[in-house]
Amino acid sequence: MATLWRDNWLYVSRTEAFQKPGAFRVLSIGNQNYLVVRSRQGNLRGFHNTCRHRGSLLCDKKEGQLGQTGRIVCPYHQWTYDSEDGTLLRTSSFAEPEDFRRSSYRLFRVAVAEWQGCVFLHPDPNATWNVDTLFQRPTDNFGNFPLQSMRIGHRWRTEMACNWKTFWENFNECLHCPAVHPELTHLVPLYSRRIVDPTDVPDWADHTERKDPRYRGGLRDGAETWSIDGSAQGHVIPSLTAEDLARGQTYASTWPSLFVAGYADHVRLCSVRPLAPERTELVAEWLFSPETLEDPGYDRTNVVDFAVRVMEQDARVCELNQRGLHAVPLESGVLMPEEYLVKRFQDWVRTGVQG
């Protein structure tokens, strides 16, 4: 909590959550509580969700709308702050100490930035935003996705009885896929070989001419997207190229809080938040083009239900993994060659914790 979750950019929500001045979102990470608000001037601003009087929370709801004034008012003693820069505008006392200066009691600021319709915050108010270093698993394959204009069509939340790092380790390997995800390995035949990339096996060069998706990657023949029946229902994103579609799925990750998954007709954002040492929140948001959402014939449950099934299967094995870690003799495990992404994540954790 003191290093990785305070030294990195954290996903908050989509920009559409802040449509009007006064719209706010609260992000709780461990015992830290952050507030992001659309100011009266129309800017996104971030603060510690803490009153400078005696430390009360300013907003106790996860999201909402400030009062008609658009100012931040503490519910405890009604100290009032400007939503643009956190300036203390007034206290509720009949008098103030002689040496009291309101300018010394601004809200504690945090940095806020936007990327492709996604809002991030950094606990360090002076943090530098650099999208080139934000993603450990880069966004190179998302150039043709209209992320900025896509809208949330469904949101799903669950809690897992595991540490957040256990979740990320599971996400970064496919050794578990055949045993845990029968539906997924049927849709993505490469995953049935327990690998995430065709080059993950020593003899990969011997199979470069094979058209079987077990060897070239992509979806099974006839499938278009991650859905129950594999169909995109006539809503393939027009800006995607043949190369984009051939991948079947593509990912980007920014640790510790978010991965982005792109498919032919939608994008899925999955955000991770630690609730306790062995309790993790997972929130998925499905993004669609406005045209897709406006089509009454498009059945969102076709893609939502498939992904929920996969995520519930992942949650179960993450919980099994977490429970097994308590064995007294167990000091460490071992990584197999296919788990190079797990190694990359573990190295990132070590570096971040050690400074």
pLDDT tens readout for residues 177-223: 999 999 999 999 999 999 999 999 999 999 989 999 999 999 999 99
Considering the domain architecture, whether residues 184 and 171 belong to the same structural domain is answered as yes
Neighbours of 74 (CB within 10 A): 21
Contact of 136 with 252, CB cutoff 8 Å = no
Domain of residue 152, residue span = 136-354
Q: Does 267 score more than 80 pLDDT?
A: yes
The answer to the question of residue 161 being in a domain is yes
Closest CA to 211 of 201, 203, 221: 221
Q: Does 349 score more than 80 pLDDT?
A: yes
Residue 183 φ/ψ, nearest 5 degrees: -70, -40
Considering the domain architecture, whether residues 179 and 260 belong to the same structural domain is answered as yes
Percent of the chain with pLDDT over 70: 100
Domain count, the chain: 2
Considering the domain architecture, whether residues 160 and 222 belong to the same structural domain is answered as yes
Looking at the DSSP bridge assignments, the partners of residue 119 are: 13, 114
The answer to the question of residue 198 being in a domain is yes
Contact of 300 with 153, CB cutoff 8 Å = yes
Mean pLDDT value of segment 322-348: 97
Considering the domain architecture, whether residues 140 and 125 belong to the same structural domain is answered as no
Considering the domain architecture, whether residues 47 and 190 belong to the same structural domain is answered as no
Distance between CA 206 and CA 204 in Å, rounded?
5
- In the listed set 101, 132, 163, which residue is the last one of a domain according to the structure? 132
The answer to the question of residue 294 being in a domain is yes
Task: Quickly tell me which residue has 């896509």 as its tokens.
Answer: 150
CATH code where residue 175 lies: 3.90.380.10
Mean pLDDT value of segment 302-327: 98
The answer to the question of residue 336 being in a domain is yes
Considering the domain architecture, whether residues 125 and 140 belong to the same structural domain is answered as no
CATH code where residue 116 lies: 2.102.10.10
Q: What mean pLDDT is reported for the chain? A: 97
Task: Quickly tell me which residue has 């070239």 as its tokens.
Answer: 216
236: its two tokens: 């393939």
Phi-psi group of 266: left, alpha or beta (phi > 0 → left; psi -120 to 50 → alpha; rest → beta) = beta
CA atoms within 13 A on the CB side of 354: 6
Considering the domain architecture, whether residues 32 and 181 belong to the same structural domain is answered as no
Q: Does 355 score more than 80 pLDDT?
A: no
Mean pLDDT value of segment 261-283: 98
The answer to the question of residue 207 being in a domain is yes
Is omega for the bond preceding 256 within 30 degrees of 0, making it cis? yes
Considering the domain architecture, whether residues 176 and 312 belong to the same structural domain is answered as yes
- In the listed set 132, 152, 176, which residue is the last one of a domain according to the structure? 132
State which amino acid sits at residue 337. Answer: P
Query: 142-170 burial, b for 16+ CB within 10 Å, e for fewer?
Result: beebbbeebbbbbebeeebbbbbbbbbbb
Considering the domain architecture, whether residues 86 and 169 belong to the same structural domain is answered as no
The answer to the question of residue 300 being in a domain is yes
pLDDT tens digits, 87-128 = 999 999 999 999 999 999 999 999 999 999 999 999 999 999
Considering the domain architecture, whether residues 103 and 174 belong to the same structural domain is answered as no
The answer to the question of residue 97 being in a domain is yes
Q: Does 348 score more than 90 pLDDT?
A: yes
The answer to the question of residue 1 being in a domain is no
Mean pLDDT value of segment 305-334: 97
- In the listed set 107, 132, 157, which residue is the last one of a domain according to the structure? 132
Q: In what order do the strands lie in the sheet with 80-81?
A: 72-73, 80-81, 88-90
Considering the domain architecture, whether residues 116 and 174 belong to the same structural domain is answered as no
Considering the domain architecture, whether residues 127 and 142 belong to the same structural domain is answered as no
Looking at the DSSP bridge assignments, the partners of residue 111 are: 122
In angstroms, how far is the first alpha carbon of the chain from the final one? 13
Distance between CA 113 and CA 134 in Å, rounded?
11
Mean pLDDT value of segment 64-82: 96
